[in-house]
Structure 1
């Protein structure tokens, strides 16, 4: 493997493919885990704010 300036080794095509595959897996995890979790948290915050700011109901006796 050829040494580049600064002591870094040049990335082989096999390593490059592996790195791209790992990046694709990370993007897939973001779409399947992080985005839905953020949506659920957003919904809870909206419901909480709605419940805390709605006018109090008055009892008619």
Structure 2
């Protein structure tokens, strides 16, 4: 049994928004000279979001 993983447009949009917000917080923390753990946290969240969007297919309309 093969599990098919696809993103719905709403889910993909939410992941995209989360990735953008994490990237924005990463940049703000980096420019302010903030804590390294915050940089790692925001960077990993942003990277995971955009890698998910890049490698998980979107659902076909009507599915």
Higher RCO (Cα < 8 Å, 6 or more apart)? 2
Task: Please report the TM-score for the alignment, with normalisation by the length of structure 1.
Answer: 0.46
Task: Please report the TM-score for the alignment, with normalisation by the length of structure 2.
Answer: 0.44
Decide which structure has the larger Cα Rg and report it.
1
